[in-house]
Amino acid sequence: MYGKNAQGKTNLIESIYYLSHLRSFRTHQFKRLIRQGQETMSIQADVETRGRSCQIRVAAVDQKKHLYYFQNPIHKYSDFVGIVNAVLFCPDDLMLFNQSPRYRRHFVDMELIKLSKTYTMTMSHYQNLLHRRNAALKQDPPDRLLIETFTEPMIKDEVIIMKQRAAFIERWMQKVHEIYPFFSDREEIFDAKYRTFVKEIKDPESELKKIYEQSYEKDCRYRQTQYGVHKDDFLFLLNGEPLQETASQGQKRSCLLALKLGLAEIIHEQTGEYPILLLDDVFSELDDHRKRQLAECLPSEMQIFITTTEPVDPAWFAGRHVHTYEVEHGSLKEVHV
């Protein structure tokens, strides 16, 4: 899809993403999802997945979501999320490298939640325990026995979370190491490291107990849990140096694209199907050489939506069946390039 700015290209990308995640990547304000002057919004799609066709719909009335599968209501979000699986690249994702560790944790957690129900349940349980432990630390005076009743199960959750995060990063980087050379002519090495507060992830339980014992007085002084997986980080490196300090904007885009394509490969391995790949304004700040390299490395079995301001040469896509649409004032018109 191509067209001038503010014509509605990203709206279509956002709609597909919303069907996959039940949230927008552009805004946290629900009212901004509804056209000005309207009271409701609706997204409907015909989907083919695992060899079957289905129709799904999301409608929003009074800021409440209503989910449908073949017009039948779905009451649990978990039964809807995953019918459509989409991986998104958008310019705002470049903040992954520059923002606080919280942003990177959220990014990794969202991917793990889609891939592992164990991770989802463990993370939810841990966050509940952390909230209760912090509330206990705010009591005057703190009740050490009560705090320890939250600490012990927290440690068991953290062992699971750390091991899954470490395994995911290792698996993810294996895919990225195969993909990134397409963008760098094999001259650069892109990598990521999991940074946690425990040195030995293989057997961390005893070390975790020691850390919480040693930090108890500090936790009480600040009335908050100072150590835990809720403060982990993920360090991205280009040729062994912190990426956010050394990489150009073009290199950052290439690295981010390699990360997204690596995620798509992991999803394909785990589910047997490629996700839909959403590339919003993907070619900005890439030279023609890197644009062509990106087009050539996209899996031919993957459905891809690309938005640009100018038409893209279909020859870049190595025989793939390409539809080109011009977007103007929210309307799509197929064109032949």
4 known ligand binder: yes
**Which of 247, 200, 226 is CA-nearest to residue 97?**
247
- Chain center to CA of 192: 16
Distance CA 265, CA 323 (A): 24
231 known ligand binder: no
In the 8-state DSSP scheme, what is residue 36? T
6 known ligand binder: yes
* Angle formed by the axes of helices 117-137 and 144-179, nearest 10°: 140
59 known ligand binder: no
Length of the chain: 337
5 known ligand binder: yes
Q: Which residues contact 40 (CB under 8 A, 6 or more apart)?
A: 34, 59, 60, 61
In the 8-state DSSP scheme, what is residue 303? -
Which tokens is 97 given?
């490298």
CB 298 within 8 A of CB 304: yes
Distance CA 45, CA 57 (A): 6
Residue 330, CA distances (Å) to 146, 273, 303, 337 in order: 57, 30, 22, 20
What are the E-state strand segments in the chain? Answer: 40-49, 52-61, 64-69, 72-74, 86-89, 190-195, 233-238, 241-242, 276-280, 304-307, 324-328, 331-335
3 known ligand binder: yes
Distance CA 225, CA 17 (A): 35
Which residues participate in the annotated binding site for ATP?
Answer: 3-10
Which residues participate in the annotated binding site?
Answer: 3-10
